[in-house]
Structure 1
Amino acid sequence: MIIVMKSGAGRQELAEVKKRIRELGYKPHVIHGATRNVVGAVGDERGKAVLQSLQSLSGVDNVVPILKPFKLASREVKPEPSLVEIVPGLSVGGDEFIVMAGPCSVESEAQILQSAHAVKAAGARLLRGGAFKPRTSPYSFQGLEEEGLKLLAAAREETGLPIVTEVVNPRDVELVARYADVMQVGARNVQNFALLKMLGQLDKPILLKRGMATTIQEYLMSAEYILSEGNRRVILCERGIRTFETATRNTLDISAVPVLKSQTHLPVIVDPSHATGHARLIAPMSYAAVAAGADGLIVEVHPRPEEAASDGPQSLKPADFAAMMKKLAAYAEVAERSLATGD
């Protein structure tokens, strides 16, 4: 249920509504709007009719059922788009098209520093890099783990770029949170509900990637796990789904972007690197992402892709990334978005 407060309702009236929601066995989630507040009451669907009694409370304008199974992620709760602040002065979901870029995995200090300087010069606003790498084969490079996190932190110190890196295991949440500005949940963990619940208890942005075979509803229900624990700073990422096609690594579901934007207030970005698996396809899919209404990109960039420990074929060279960013700025302008492209 959504409890819509009257315009001008005060703190005491809001506190009373939250108290009554808890007494009825539900969890209140306050969504602050420009002119009024809305309280989502989340819990067992079978007894939600009792929440209609809240209509009589002072300060309550209306009590409305939420029809979508994903309650807090739905535009029924929050019609206007959400801004997710990364650091002061940098948010995803606003007028600026945000690009995150860097290597698939952190391999050495020289590699991550070179990558960080290159992507910053081209206009990227965040540095991506994997310290923990979930791989299909147990014999593949698994990442430098905490040493990789320290190298990412050093790159942030030198360039000023916030870092986004993946957390793979619930036991590593606290460790990764000490270093990362944005915690990434990869496609293989999109329904790792124990991990999602732990991330929901952090006050830190979460970048949630869509699973390889996850429907949009299942995907939004995964976001709901994070939101329901209290963390509202969720960014969605379309990274391609598995189909019968073999010409690309995955199939970029570009239509998922406008579908998600119509169903949820959460910002949506696109990962053209994992979606295609081929460096030559990243630029056209990035332009398509702008046209589809995405709020940003996360792109793999490596100074020497031919020597990369992971995902070399889908990694752009710095010069190619810089060229793409210049052209991307023109597409962003047509889409009425802005894009910084370096000094």
Structure 2
Amino acid sequence: MRITEVSPVLLRGDESYGPRSGAAEAVDQGDWLLLVRVRTDAGLEGWSDVETLGPVAARVLSGPGMGALGFRGIAEETVGKDPLDIEGIWTDLYLATAYYGRRGVVMHCMSAVDNCLWSIRAQAAGVPLSEVLGGRRRDRLPAYASTLFRATPDENQAAAAGYARMGFRAVKFGWGGFGIDPGLDRENLAAIREALGPERELMVDPGWYVHDGGRPRVRTYAQTRAMLEIVADVVPYWVEDFVHPECPADYHQAKLEFPTLRFAAGEQQATIWDFRRLIHEGGVDVLQPDLSRCGGLTVAKAVAAEAERAGREIVTHSWLTDLLHAYSLAYLATLHDAHWVEFNVAQSALSRGVVTTRLSLAADGTVAIPDGIGLGMAVDQEFIRSCQVVV
């Protein structure tokens, strides 16, 4: 079996990222969405979404490369190879793109290709994806609702109460306008905690930068310390991704001052080398590989082994479509210890529309691991054609 095609499928929408007024749901990246399709001469194909700058990534995938190793194109380097040689292809692509890649958009594209190949491996074996990843250890996982902070305490309280009524056992509020006004931050968190009650967990994602006066800035350490003092009052399950991604040792410093808080990070990181830094330099409690950014399932499997040795929890970052949710669920199903899956409740029309049957929350607050052959999710070809733009 050989790979015959690696194609970017770029979709265009008319929604923009951000919170909405009142208790209305926030919206993820609804203006552009990139999917990747890998086809083989055996008629098998894999699909993956990618949380990246879609128009740029589409050209990275399909554009021509140069003659020298390190400047090759992703599609041209992949076509013709055995799709079952997933780890070998990952290494080939890393070397082939080393002088313009190694992280960022190129690694995001590699992640999507890698995910597609794992789906194809499972299809070729006639089994669910979780089986080729190491074997399923659970059939369901508790889901936490993942959303953005609203502007006022009343709006945040109403939103949190809504997620509780839906049956979520935990909720993560992030970004939005959090981190500018300490007094407002305290009121917003108190309102959310009151709505969730003691029986539901609260995760807080302050973001590693804030928009202040229309301009983004990174917090000083004094500002980070003040923010953590406020967050500590609501006893969060974790505090997420509040450190500059190039400075993982700052998590260790924060841990010395706030030993009772648990820190989570990883959505900004890629490759096993970055995650080793989070573990050994940062002492992060919860690792959050995003399968569309970290290097795909091949890297995530290596992260799982590293995390188990270090005694760290893994909860994937999956704030995109149900394709990414399904990849995350299949991966988390194989881990020795898994407590949560992130469930993006802020899906845009683009994110919602790419699959024919969406994943759903059960009455007990869990989501089932897809059990169909391969990824177990089908893309909606008609929807994709209606939103696709030529690259």
> What TM-score results when the alignment is normalised by the length of structure 2?
0.42
- Higher RCO structure (Cα 8 Å, ≥6 apart): 2
> What TM-score results when the alignment is normalised by the length of structure 1?
0.47
